[in-house]
Chain A
């Protein structure tokens, strides 16, 4: 059997897109949430790194 035919036998393959959409939204929301909570002083410090 050619390797490319293996995947078609994978069970529940159609759930992949769904999982990925949920994952993407979750990651995106998580990043925004945490970015909003960032410590301002530290941010300033990192921001200035190129100028040191």
Chain B
């Protein structure tokens, strides 16, 4: 058999490297802006697209899918070719993948700024973009599997299993969670409602962290840490257990995002148990990565690349220990809805994803540009700036989370709440400022890196086609001595793919199927009725403006929450909520019973509050929404929305869509008359009227029902 000559495609690797660098800086910049908005509300600029509720999804989506996404593809396209001794399957598919993904990012960001959102965290992009993501993901899959099939190396190294596991699981998560019913060319309603929607969303949300931010990066760790330290992975056997245990367990842990909510108890318990179990594979993987550097610690002192990688793996260890701790119900009672969650995800994002990406970029760019790094010293400075940035970010957030969580729960000896909600916010604003500064420091480091890499590219000589020689695979595989079981699957990528799918599907099915048994798991409440057309339009504006990024609609059964927000939320209250709006963070108070008679404020209060929150609640950090008062409500889609809701099972009467707008105007006129009596002149056609209708509806359904079903 003769050796074959072929070329590695470095161009696609360089393109993804450029993309991850540029989008990384953009995503972090948006993050810094929104961090400052929480300190200085004027930074919202009285302009819808630059307001926190729309900017925050742009930040999260940019960092997850643009920065980390392109980072994954950069690492996969580099390592896959080399581990398999083969060029990528198709140059055309590589190009389609690259440009398709960048277009999705651009259109995704534009659509979020324009207010087109599904209202589900980290899955905000609407159905046409969801379809585009699916298609590009399939292109990536074909390109990857095609390369694997034409490989010149029989065995699939552990990094590749992580890539395969990632591909198949992300496809499953994305498709299941994105199911929506379109009512216009861009917008649609989540297929699921209430508790089901929450469960599907957090099954997705949790596993987006697991299979987009973790498993592909573990693959990269298993390839690039040995590369950078010039040592094989500490234990290969360990990595096998790591892979199977991690993908099996991770998928079950989603419900820990919904502890103490209206989700059935058994599902919460499953989530907690599997979250605790997750420590084992996670730490196994972390130790395997760190121990790979055994005997090379002298190098770590000098080499900024290894420094980045060590801190990245350490942050992975910290985040994966903290995650299970946060999923303990007693800890979660304090931390949930607070900034602790924000600190947790940023240890992962800034430390694990950010630092591993930086380390890989510093290692990879000089290699494909056949030169030395422009400035090792600058990379070292970046490292320290980055570390300081992470610390400056995380510590104030832990402080803010813990102190606010305790303040919420504090009672006076007389038995009343010690603090107004707003007091708990104004007391942590200094922490928000420190966080914003920490984030800016981290961003500065990333900009230094971009400069350093740009200078490296400038002085280097790009090797687009890297020549390589290798023997082709023999048609028939000859066993070499004692075979072990795992050899079998390591040679069979398709079986590995199917195996991974089965393993993750089991956890997913167990979690989700029983909740679809709606009648037994979600007690229905007779008094809960579908939204009126005006309320529905108001709700869609609530979703559009990203109110859920700061306000929850889920009162947990705690003394403080019940006293502050009213009776705890019941699963049956959300059966018509497409999408659910439980939220995950209380930068503002819970709104689940905003319209309940005990909490209800006058219509004029909402009107003035939307115009200038700081005037109504001094010290409030809520952005103003002046455009709601001036913009006309688009009622041309009311009928389509009602029809979509009917298709999803919301029991409007037959042909209600035809008269929906009449009903809408009637209710709007009532609110306008009410406002007039409170001294405010406005027209029934304004968006604010719909928003007021929706807010006043919240929690009013079970106003007079004594006999509520107990969860």
Contact = CB atoms under 8 A, between A and B. Distances in A.
Given A31-B244, A34-B486, A50 B79 contact: yes
A46 B510 contact: no
B506 A32 contact: no
B652 interface: no
Interface string A14-52: 101100100110011001101111110111111111110
Contacts of A5: 518-519
A50 B236 contact: no
Nearest to B82: A50
Given A5-B518, A8-B519, A20-B510, A39 B482 contact: yes
Interface in B89-145: none
B237 A35 contact: yes
Contact of B236 (A13, A20, A47, A51): A47
Given A4-B196, A38-B237, 17 more contacts: A8-B519, A13-B514, A14-B514, A16-B509, A16-B510, A17-B266, A23-B506, A27-B244, A35-B486, A38-B484, A39-B483, A42-B483, A43-B236, A44-B232, A46-B490, A50-B82, A50-B223
A46 B236 CA distance: 8
Nearest to B648: A2
Interface of B: 79, 82-83, 153, 155, 157, 159, 196, 222-223, 226-227, 230-233, 236-237, 240-241, 244-245, 248-249, 266, 270, 480-487, 490, 503, 506-507, 509-510, 513-514, 516-520, 649
A8 B232 contact: no
A27 B248 contact: yes
A11 interface: no
Contacts of A48: 232
B518 A4 contact: yes
A27 B249 CA distance: 11
Contact of A38 (B231, B486, B516, B518): B486
A27 B517 CA distance: 28
Contact of A49 (B157, B241, B245): B157
Contacts of B487: 42
Given A23-B506, A24-B248, A47 B517 contact: no
14 contacts: A2-B649, A7-B513, A17-B266, A17-B270, A24-B248, A27-B503, A34-B484, A35-B237, A35-B240, A35-B486, A46-B236, A49-B155, A50-B159, A51-B227
Contacts of A17: 266, 270, 510, 514
A51 B225 CA distance: 11
Contacts of A14: 514
Nearest to A7: B516
B484 A39 contact: yes
Contacts of A35: 237, 240-241, 486
Contacts of B509: 16, 20
Contact of A8 (B79, B157, B510, B517): B517
B251 to A, nearest CB: 11
Nearest to B518: A4
Contact of A51 (B232, B249, B482): B232
Minimum-distance CB pairs A-B, first 9? A8-B517, A47-B232, A34-B485, A38-B484, A47-B236, A49-B157, A39-B482, A20-B510, A35-B237
Contacts of A8: 516-520
A51 to B, nearest CB: 6
Nearest to B470: A52
A28 B506 CA distance: 14
Contacts of A7: 513, 516-517
Contacts of B481: 39, 41-42
Contacts of A37: 484-485
Contacts of B244: 27-28, 31
B489 to A, nearest CB: 10
Given A16-B510, A34-B484, A49 B517 contact: no
A28 B517 contact: no
A48 to B, nearest CB: 5
B7 to A, nearest CB: 17
Nearest to B196: A4
A25 B270 CA distance: 15
A35 to B, nearest CB: 5
Contacts of A44: 232
Contacts of B222: 50
Nearest to A48: B232
A45 to B, nearest CB: 8
A24 B94 CA distance: 36
B126 to A, nearest CB: 22
B506 A50 contact: no
Contacts of B516: 4, 7-8
Nearest to A21: B510
A31 B233 contact: no
Contacts of B484: 34, 37-39, 42
A14 B517 CA distance: 11
B506 A20 contact: yes
A37 B237 CA distance: 10
Contact of A50 (B83, B245, B482, B649): B83
A26 to B, nearest CB: 11
A36 B486 CA distance: 11
B425 to A, nearest CB: 39
A27 to B, nearest CB: 7
B631 to A, nearest CB: 35
Nearest to A38: B484
B248 A46 contact: no
